[in-house]
Amino acid sequence: MATGKQVVVKGWLLVLAEPEREGSADEDGDAPRSQVLPAVRDGMACQVAGADIKALKTMPPKPYTQGELVKAMKGVARFVTDPRLKQKLKDTTGIGTEATRANIISGLIARGYIVKKGRSIRASDAALTLIDAVPAAIADPGTTAVWEQALDMIEAGQLTLDVFIGKQAAWISQLIAQYGSTSLSIKVPQGPACPQCGAPTRQRTGKSGPFWSCSRYPDCKGTLPVETGTSKRGASRPRKSGRKGS
């Protein structure tokens, strides 16, 4: 299969030296560069030598790492369709700042909205359910750009802080009144059996991170760590015994 290109308008290439001849091979013997295509026009007929049908599947994008999510928060403008809001997010720092993005992600992990799997991070079922349930403006990163514009107006003296806070309070009150009765159906992850009583366990979050806790707590205090599934509390540990040599 031949591939190539056709330069329609040279533009800034006119000020450069003449490029190398198209189709010439590299010095290391690599495949030749793309060739120049003949001029084509609408309605032109051509001969098809053959065609193949390939069964392919669209693959989902790879999950973010924590560092890639920080970059996505900074470049969130590419997820916004409104051209004015997109430009505003490009001119600012996106979502959060260099000092707050890591803390934002840590907070989402602590609340169970992000789960870590190796180096990758994924949105939990609770996060997906919440995003589907909240008003579109809450989940839209373009809202950040609107607030940035308001902050610029406050800095320029065109808007007072009290007026801005008042408008936000009225907007939030309206959303609460509109969606206050909305129910969320969150899929709770199934945990292993309690090591003490065999009852189902529920995922909870402690000082050291998430763990499985017996659903009969506080009557039963059996727990398991989320990562390995081995008993953390409540299971007996083998004791080491031995005698010191004389």
Question: Tokens standing for 173?
Answer: 């009150």
Res 229: pLDDT: 40
Instruction: Give the integer Cα–Cα distance in Å for 72 and 113.
Output: 17
The residue whose two tokens read 């990562």 is 227
The CATH number of domain 66-179 is 1.10.460.10: yes
Among residues 107, 131, 109, the alpha carbon closest in space to that of 120 is found at: 109
Residues of the chain with pLDDT under 50: 23-29, 31, 228-246
Instruction: Give the integer Cα–Cα distance in Å for 189 and 201.
Output: 10
Query: Could you read off the pLDDT of 81-125 as tens digits, one per residue?
Result: 888 888 888 888 788 888 889 899 988 888 888 888 888 999 988
Q: What are phi and psi of 36, to 5 degrees?
A: -80, 130
Q: What SS3 class is residue 169?
A: helix
Res 113: pLDDT: 87
Burial of 94 (0-12, 13-18, 19+ CB in 10 A): buried
Question: Tokens standing for 223?
Answer: 């727990």
Q: What are phi and psi of 181, to 5 degrees?
A: -95, 5
Q: What are the contacts of 135-144 at 24+ separation with CB within 8 A?
A: 135/175, 135/178, 135/179, 138/175, 140/80, 141/76, 141/79, 141/80, 141/89, 141/94, 141/95, 142/80, 142/81, 142/82, 142/85, 142/86, 142/89, 144/76, 144/89, 144/94, 144/95
Q: Report the half-sphere exposure of 117 (CA within 13 A, side-chain side).
A: 9
Domain map of the chain by residue range? 66-179, 189-234
Q: What SS3 class is residue 26?
A: coil
pTM above threshold 0.85: no
Res 163: pLDDT: 94
Q: What SS3 class is residue 200?
A: strand
